[in-house]
Structure formats: C-alpha cells, structure tokens
C-alpha cells in the first residue's frame, strides 16, 4: 500500500504576505507570513524554503543566507546580501521593496 502524496501548492496560497525590504544598505530581508499554523508548518519543513534553496533562488552563497522560523508569529524571515548596495549606481530598488518576486514562483 502506498501512502498518499501531498500535492504541491504555491507559496502564495499559504502566505498571504510575502514582502522584501532593506536590512541596512547591504542586506535584504524577505518576510513570509502564513495564513495559519498548518501553512507555517508545511512551509517551515519544506526543502524549498531552507536557506540553501533561497540562496540558489537569489544566486548568492548559501552561507550568506540566514533563516529565521518564527512559529509564534506564523512567519519565516530570510536575510541575505543585496547584489548592489542600496542607492549605488545600478541599484534599481533603493528600498529593497521589489525583491520578493522570485518567491512568488515557489511551490511546496
């Protein structure tokens, strides 16, 4: 007898709030707030939302990504280096507010 498999679900279905912002001029913060404890648990245990997977998604070294699981808040937070220092030439998003886009394509 085989065990039932859980169908993949888009991260956007589990987390109504997915946002990014600066954490200083050289760091970026990604915040994921989940709809309930069940959604948080699914996301927190998913390989797609581990530090190394997010590092791959944002093309930075895995050791540069910090992951904070906050079950009491139903949130997961990542901190990673910005590609360009905020406000430098070539920076298209001085506040870091549009950097969450890659997470919108994640499935768990």
Contact 86, 95 (CB under 8 A): yes
Q: Could you tell me the residue range of the domain that residue 61 belongs to?
A: 13-105
Residue 5 within a domain: no
Residue 47 within a domain: yes
pLDDT above 80: residue 5: no
Sheet of strand 75-81, all strands in order from the earlier edge strand to the far edge:
17-22, 27-33, 75-81, 66-70
Residue 50 within a domain: yes
pLDDT above 80: residue 88: yes
pLDDT above 70: residue 4: no
**Beta-bridge partners for 29:** 21, 79
Residue 74 within a domain: yes
Which pLDDT score is estimated for 47?
97
Which pLDDT score is estimated for 12?
98
Contact 85, 93 (CB under 8 A): no
Looking at the 3D structure of the chain, how many domains does it have? 1
Q: What is the average per-residue pLDDT within 37-62?
A: 97
Residue 72 within a domain: yes
pLDDT above 90: residue 86: yes
Model pTM? 0.92
Residue 69 within a domain: yes
Q: What is the average per-residue pLDDT within 41-52?
A: 98
Average pLDDT over all residues of the chain: 95
Residue 3 within a domain: no
């Amino acid at each position: 007898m085989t065990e039932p498999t859980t169908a993949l679900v888009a991260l956007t279905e589990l987390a109504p709030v997915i946002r990014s912002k600066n954490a200083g001029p050289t760091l970026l913060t990604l915040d994921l707030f989940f709809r309930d404890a069940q959604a948080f648990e699914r996301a927190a245990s998913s390989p797609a939302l581990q530090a190394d997977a997010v590092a791959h998604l944002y093309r930075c070294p895995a050791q540069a990504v910090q992951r904070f699981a906050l079950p009491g808040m139903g949130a997961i937070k990542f901190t990673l280096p910005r590609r360009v220092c905020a406000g430098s030439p070539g920076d298209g998003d001085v506040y870091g507010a549009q950097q969450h886009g890659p997470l919108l394509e994640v499935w768990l």
